[in-house]
Structure formats: structure tokens, C-alpha cells
Amino acid sequence: MRVLVTGHLGYIGPVVVSALNEAGHDIVGLDSGLFRGCALEPSAEVPTIARDLRDVTPDDVSGFEAIVHLAGLSNDPLGFLDPALTHEVNGAATVRLARIAREAGVRRFLNSSSCSVYGAPEEPWVDETSALRPVTPYGESKATAEQGLGQLVSPSFCVVSFRNATAFGYSPRLRTDLVVNDLASGAYLRGEIRLNSDGSAWRPLVHVRDIARAFVLGLTAPSTSINGAILNVGADAQNYTVIEIARAVSEIVPGARLTIAEGAGKDRRSYRTRFERVRNVLPDFSCAYDLRTGIEDLLANFRRLDLRSTDGLVRLAHLQRLIAGAEVDASLRPRVLAA
């Protein structure tokens, strides 16, 4: 299958591209190159369309059978950088891309959404039937995209939104602004596991390779079973409080000290998530990684690469450097797109 992967130069992208290549698909990437220089090591090279998501044209998507849509502003801190921009990129531009794709004859659109749409739920557990209560511009923008995409579903245009749990695990384009990766890298580099909240918030977790597996299965699942679906991606057993995650890291990195920032309060974002639907819709899906194996794999890669710092691995800080250096404008459009 000929597949366009947007945002293939981000954190999840290289892992998804590798999995799709292994499955025998013909891959082309589309990326603005904002994070091109953030790689720890090389990853699979694929033909690339250098394009801002907001500027995609019908020619860009013509000839593809499916789109795996990963591009966007990727977490809550980035969302607060400019809430209006977050809604423009993650919401409006996503729906516009899907509309253009449908008109160009693309048959399947797999959208990378987030369990952040649940935000601050009233119930102790959430699933795909729960009310959405996002508390950040990022979560709101993901919910907006899902709603807009739902209006484009048709028998000839299969749309699926994967609500990924909080991603973790090694990627050649690692991010250390995600809770597990952050705590593990801090323990490895500084001997400190530092919490900026009281640690009581719940987070569902999913390894980046398991996210990639969901996309691989989503490309070939029967349209009759998956069209219009919204699926939480993760595993029931992988719901943890942040303090539990920190303690897991401390068990694997002996001597790392656990500290809590002065004045740390509760994080409003707290949700325990059920994942029964994805197992029913994609029977071959299961999570190969749990928290412990994911942390151990991260540390093994840190040692292999002799990781010395997290420069370039925190997305907000990287974009702030690009803006300060006039490499991108205030709307995050690169002044010169990489070839």
C-alpha cells in the first residue's frame, strides 16, 4: 500500500515508518522539518515532501491509498506556546488535510489523537464513550480534530482516530518532555527523578512501538469494522500515577534520588483509561512493552549512545530556540524549508 506519513520526522514518526516498511508498505513522508535536527541517530530514509501541514495541496496527497497523520503540535507545553496556533495546526489543518485527501481519492485516513481529550473526567475510569473534558489547548485541539474528521467519514473514505495513551520509549528522535522519558533521562543523566507535581495524577502509558503496531494494523483492518472508529491505544494494566512511574524508575536506576519541586501541586490532567475497544476492533493488537521493559530499553539506548544531555529533546525549548534565532516565524513556519 502506498502510504503518506505526515510528521514522520517527529518522535513517533521514525518508529511508525520503520514498522510500515517492515510490513511492506511504500512510504512517503510529509514534514515541515521543524525537528529535523533533533535526531539522536539516523533512521530510515524515505522520500519526503517538505511542506507545512497548513499548506498541503491536492497534488501532495494524490496517488496515496492511505494517510497516517502524525503531524502537529505534540503536547500540552507546546499548546500553551500559542493556543490559537495549536487549534489552527492540530484542529483546522488536520480536518483540511483529510478533506483534501478524500477529494483526491485517498481511501483511508488514520489520525493520531490523544487520551488528553479526557482531561479532568468526573468518573474514575474513562473509555471511548466518556464525555470529553480537555483542560489544555492541546487536548481541545485533538477533540476538535476528531469531531471534524467524523463528519468526513463515508463508505469510500475510512477514518480512524487513535487516542494514544501517554507515549514513552526509545525513538531515534527521542523526546524527553514525556513523563516516562523525562524521569528516566533525569535519573540517568543527573541521578535525579524530579517531579513538578505532587505525583497523584493518573496517566495511561503506551510504548511508541506499540503505537506503531496499532497504525500497521489499522491500515489493513476491514473498513467495515474500523470506519469511523475512535480507539484508545494502550493497555488497562498500564495506568499509573506519576509517583508510581517515578518509583519504577528509581527501582531500575539505583541511587537516583526522587525529589518533588517546592510548591508542587496537583495536576488537573488525571485519567485512568480502558482499552477494551481496540482489542475488539483490532484483535491482533496487544502491547509488547510494559513500563519496566520500556524503561530498561530506554536506559540501554542511553548507554549505547553515551547520552550526555537532553539538548534538542524537549520540543518547546527547541522551538523557542528556533524562534529566537529567526529560523522560524511566530507562526512556526520555517523561513527556509529543507529540501
Phi/psi of residue 136, nearest 5 degrees = -135, 155
* Residue type for position 103: E
Mean pLDDT of 84-92: 96
* DSSP at 256: P
Annotated domain spans of the chain: 2-324
CB atoms within 10 A of CB 334: 16
Band of pLDDT at residue 337, cut at 50, 70 and 90? low
pLDDT per position as a tens digit, 289-303:
999 999 999 999 999
Band of pLDDT at residue 74, cut at 50, 70 and 90? confident
Q: What percent of the chain has pLDDT over 70?
A: 98
DSSP string, 83-127: HHHHIIIIIIHHHHHHHHHHHTT--EEEEEEEGGGG-S-SSSEE-
pLDDT at 100 over 70: yes
Contact of 16 with 211, CB cutoff 8 Å: yes
pLDDT per position as a tens digit, 174-210:
999 999 999 999 999 999 999 989 999 999 999 999 9
Torsion of CA 34, 40, 41, 43, to 10 degrees: -40
Mean pLDDT is lowest, of 146-160, 193-207, 265-279, 316-330, for: 316-330
Q: Report the distance separating Cα 254 and Cα 137, nearest Å.
A: 37
Total-model pTM: 0.96
Mean pLDDT of 68-80: 85
End-to-end Cα spacing for the chain: 25
Q: Which of helix, strand or coil describes residue 194?
A: strand
> Considering only CA atoms, which of 316, 301, 25 is closest in space to residue 171?
301
Q: How much is the pLDDT for 339?
A: 45
Residues forming beta bridges with residue 232, ordered by sequence position: 163
Average pLDDT of the chain, as a whole number:
96
Band of pLDDT at residue 275, cut at 50, 70 and 90? very high
Q: Give the CATH number of domain 2-324; options: 3.40.50.1970, 3.30.420.240, 3.30.470.20, 3.40.50.720.
A: 3.40.50.720
pLDDT per position as a tens digit, 15-27:
999 999 999 999 9
C-alpha cell at 211: 503505537
> Which residue stretches of the chain are H helix?
13-22, 58-61, 76-81, 83-86, 93-103, 137-150, 179-190, 208-220, 223-226, 242-252, 276-281, 291-305, 315-324
Distance from chain centroid for Cα 161:
12
Q: How much is the pLDDT for 23?
A: 99
Mean pLDDT of 45-68: 98
pLDDT at 247 over 50: yes
